[in-house]
Structure 1
Amino acid sequence: MKKIIIGDNIVKSFGVEDEQRNVLDGVSVEITEGEFVAVMGPSGSGKSTLMFALSGMDSVNGGKVVFDGMDLTEVGEKELSEIRRTKMGFIFQQPTMLKNLNILDNIILPSMRDNRKNAPKISEKARMLMERVGIGDLEKRDITQVSGGQLQRAGICRALMNNPKIIFGDEPTGALNSKSSEEIMDIFSEINADGTALMLVTHDAKVAARTDRIMFMRDGKIVSELKLPKFDGKDIEVRVDEVTVKMREVGI
């Protein structure tokens, strides 16, 4: 399988002079097309920083990041922004939505930026995605008139609008109850089955157990990995136990 992301000896530092600290300390990672990856580790281990580095959302102090054959460390901010907008999708713990727009308009807004002539097709695609994730009847609702799970589904729709090669999620189920979390993970599994790669940062062993591979981080380094078979909806507790045991082994 083609490698969609190659991170080679990535270093990311914060602070100045004697107070400088490496949040990423020579991290190397590869993600292939269609892979479903989780990143776990204690707070401050560098999980989210790694996601920001691999997606070009944050610059690095050393090493390089290659996405879809392009070295992101050699690309200007304008081109980086275009790459993120057209080839990547992002889902966060708290979806960032505009309060003065309804759910449908929030979903289509990024896609309308340079493509207003295709507004009908863009809206049609958004409605199709909303139906797919179970919020087809909420397009005219304000963001204050839906649940957290429904708002996260809207965020997923927005992330899928431009057919991204990979979706990055930073604790995407962290603010949800267990039922909503399971439903969101079902949607992620369907997206992955269609061929889209996903990388999720999570503290939740149950979320990580649904992925293909888990990278465990501590002190700015990947200290271990766990490969799992494709999730088939069965034996989830066994998988969670396996993840939990591995977390204890690496001190998470």
Structure 2
Amino acid sequence: MKKIIICEHIEKSFGEGNEKRNVLDGVSVEINEGEFVSIMGPSGSGKSTLMYAVSGMDSIDSGKVSFEGKNLSTLREKELADIRRTEMGFVFQQPTMLKNLNILDNIILPSIRDNRKSATKITEKARVLMEKVGIGELEKRDITQVSGGQLQRAGICRALISNPKIIFGDEPTGALNSKSAQEIMDIISEINTEGTAVMLVTHDAKIAARTERILFMCDGKIVSEMRFKKYNGSDIDDRMKKVTAKMRELGI
């Protein structure tokens, strides 16, 4: 299977002198095309920092991060921004939306800003995506007129607008109730089934259990890994038992 991301011996620290702390301590990991990966670990273990390093959103002190054969550390900021905008998608716990724009305009703004000639096509695609995730009737709503789950669906549409090779999610269900969280995971799982790789940071065993590979982190290192088959909707309880048992074993 084709590897789209290869990380080799990544080091990342914060602070200086006696306050200096290694957040990533020689981490190596590979992500395959179409793979569904989650990262778990206690607070401060480095899981979000790893995702930001892997996606080129944050610099590293040493090591190498390659995306589609390109060494992200050697690229200029504009080149990095182009890759993030056209080949990666991002879904965060709290979607960042502009209050003076409606839902549709918030979805299309980043893409139209860089490609005004394709505004009509981008808008058409946004509407297709909105219908797909169940918010097609909300395009004219302000962001204060929708629920958290609906806003997160809009964030997913924005992440998908450029047909990315991989979606990164930092606790994408963390601010949602259980019903909305399940619905968002259903959407993300469908995206993955259609061929887009996904990497999620989560503290929720039920969310991680729906992925096919879980990386467990502690003190800046990947200390264990668990693999599953693609989730088919029928074995979540068994998968959760295995995940929680591993978490207890690792003290997470």
Q: Segments of 4+ in structure 1 off by > 6 A?
A: none
Q: How far 1:53 sits from its partner (Å)?
A: 0.3
2: distance between equivalents of 1:17 and 1:85?
Answer: 36
**Unmatched segments (≥5 aa) in structure 2:** none
* Structure 2 partner of 1:107: 107
* Structure 1 partner of 2:96: 96
What is the correspondence of 1:13-24 to structure 2 with a 5 Å cutoff? 13-24=13-24
* Structure 2 partner of 1:190: 190
1: distance between equivalents of 2:169 and 2:116?
Answer: 28
* Structure 1 partner of 2:180: 180
2: distance between equivalents of 1:50 and 1:113?
Answer: 29
* Structure 1 partner of 2:66: 66
Q: Does 1:202 align with 2:202?
A: yes
Q: How far 1:20 sits from its partner (Å)?
A: 1.1
1: distance between equivalents of 2:66 and 2:118?
Answer: 31
1: distance between equivalents of 2:100 and 2:19?
Answer: 43
Question: 3-state SS of the aligned residue for 2:12?
Answer: strand
Cα RMSD over matched residues? 0.6
What is the correspondence of 1:128-143 to structure 2 with a 5 Å cutoff? 128-143=128-143
TM-score for both structures, normalised by structure 2: 0.99
* Structure 2 partner of 1:41: 41
* Structure 1 partner of 2:221: 221
Q: Which amino acid aligns with 1:28?
A: S
* Structure 2 partner of 1:248: 248
Question: 3-state SS of the aligned residue for 1:113?
Answer: helix
Question: 3-state SS of the aligned residue for 2:108?
Answer: helix
1: distance between equivalents of 2:177 and 2:241?
Answer: 20
TM-score for both structures, normalised by structure 1: 0.99
2: distance between equivalents of 1:114 and 1:152?
Answer: 23
Q: Which amino acid aligns with 1:35?
A: E
- Equivalent pairs counted in the alignment come to 252
Q: Which amino acid aligns with 2:200?
A: L
**Unmatched segments (≥5 aa) in structure 1:** none
Q: Deviations over 1:94-114 (max 9, x none)?
A: 000000000000000011022
